[in-house]
Chains A and B, each alone.
Chain A
């Protein structure tokens, strides 16, 4: 046998055999309920988090079957590289495929299909770094990071949003065959052909099993950490996360820093840029300026078709002001927002949960709101 996966509802088991097929076992009857032939073998298998899809890696193709009648609904076929492992991101939208070549392909399942076709041949996002087969991938529970390991003996942790590595751990002396991200978000396990299992500390300070009690961090240091939190050097960003997660009253500090947005209000502000009263126009400009990078997209769109010369001028000015903002780009804000959500879930104080609640309603983008909501739900269960 090559691969094994429990269905999301726990009622079935998908098993890939070395040659000729993937079988779906029904666990209550202990019988095979479906055989998918897979003439080129089934090396990797994964169920989507909602249980609706089954992804199979067969030679150089990733096949996506739905799980009621097991019809093939999509296939990712860029060819010339064999799929070694598959792992769905927790939001079910991204499927990470570890390849023989050493690349990790991040397949986007939301890419629309052309009518009557199931094959997707768009070049996916890639994570590059491994030399040789990527044997295993595992996502963090919040989808912020993924780990990978393989033939080159290294264990790597990546931040999904910018695709950069946080670490590249050399520790095994043989090929790494398996990895697992602990639900705490602080521990990574890896297993190797060298006969060792290693447990890694992602906090980098011996606090993986349990975070230490919060300690006082002065305002200047917090301000410095706030900047580091937006760094696209992921090593710096990761270190800042773990310092901030154990800083006393961190939620209070972050509450003063994060920008909360309300799409309806933004619409109103944009409208008011054209208000007949100067005072209202000024007020709208000021409000939009306070929303920083999160209104960049709306402003750019507005600038394409400004309703008046006044609006064109005001929006142009706002966009210009964004350029000067400490060189923090929208990409960095996105990175920082995800790290902030991680810090709040890790800190898990009443204040932290309150801020997660606010972010679930008012973070700058849809997926950030979803992430904050999911983090809040996990934190509340602790």
Chain B
């Protein structure tokens, strides 16, 4: 667990954890911040995690390798993630009100934006 903190930011690592020996196995690293959300594609081959840095990362499972990093809005904000039930899209919602639909390669497909001066949106920030 030595790789947790790195200069200039915080590393996020997928560790494989051996429950019998209690020793983490080697995994991939992704300096994306504290984890706020997690979702798995229905086929189990892809995971997406949301971070406090307004980023989401797509990981290959079970290798734990990073496949794509998504910027879900400006600045730092917590990100929620959800895979579509067919596994073909990922939704991210930034605490700063931006909802984006991505394809599984990490390409932005659609943005869901509330009309301006929507009272709930204003309250919801």
Contact = CB atoms under 8 A, between A and B. Distances in A.
Range for the number of chain A residues in contact with chain B: 35 or more
A4 interface: yes
Contacts of A192: 34-35
B99 A177 contact: no
A261 to B, nearest CB: 33
Interface string A157-195: 000000000010101011001111111100101111111
A18 to B, nearest CB: 5
B38 A171 contact: no
A211 interface: no
B38 A27 contact: no
| Most interface-central of A180, A181, A192, A205 (chain B CB within 10 A) | A180
B38 A191 contact: yes
Contacts of B99: 1, 13, 15, 25
Interface in B73-95: 80-86, 89, 91, 93-95
Contacts of B42: 183
A187 B124 contact: no
A201 B35 contact: no
A252 to B, nearest CB: 29
A30 B11 contact: no
Contacts, number: 173
A111 interface: no
| Most interface-central of B1, B16, B35, B43 (chain A CB within 10 A) | B35
Given A17-B123, A25-B99, A6 B91 contact: yes
A174 B34 contact: yes
A186 B39 CA distance: 16
B93 A187 contact: no
A344 B67 CA distance: 33
B103 to A, nearest CB: 13
A18 B124 contact: yes
Nearest to A49: B85
A222 interface: no
A4 B91 contact: yes
| Most interface-central of B17, B20, B85, B110 (chain A CB within 10 A) | B17
Interface in A186-231: 187, 189-202, 204-206, 208-209
A19 interface: yes
Given A6-B82, A10-B85, A1 B97 contact: yes
Contact of A4 (B20, B32, B64, B82): B82
A160 to B, nearest CB: 19
A324 to B, nearest CB: 37
A20 interface: yes
A110 B42 CA distance: 27
Given A4-B37, A177-B35, A180-B47, 9 more contacts: A1-B80, A17-B123, A35-B120, A173-B1, A178-B50, A197-B49, A198-B17, A204-B20, A209-B62
Interface of A: 1, 3-10, 13, 15, 17-21, 23, 25, 27, 30, 32, 35, 136, 167, 169, 171, 173-174, 177-184, 187, 189-202, 204-206, 208-209
8 contacts: A5-B82, A6-B91, A171-B17, A173-B1, A173-B4, A180-B47, A184-B44, A205-B20
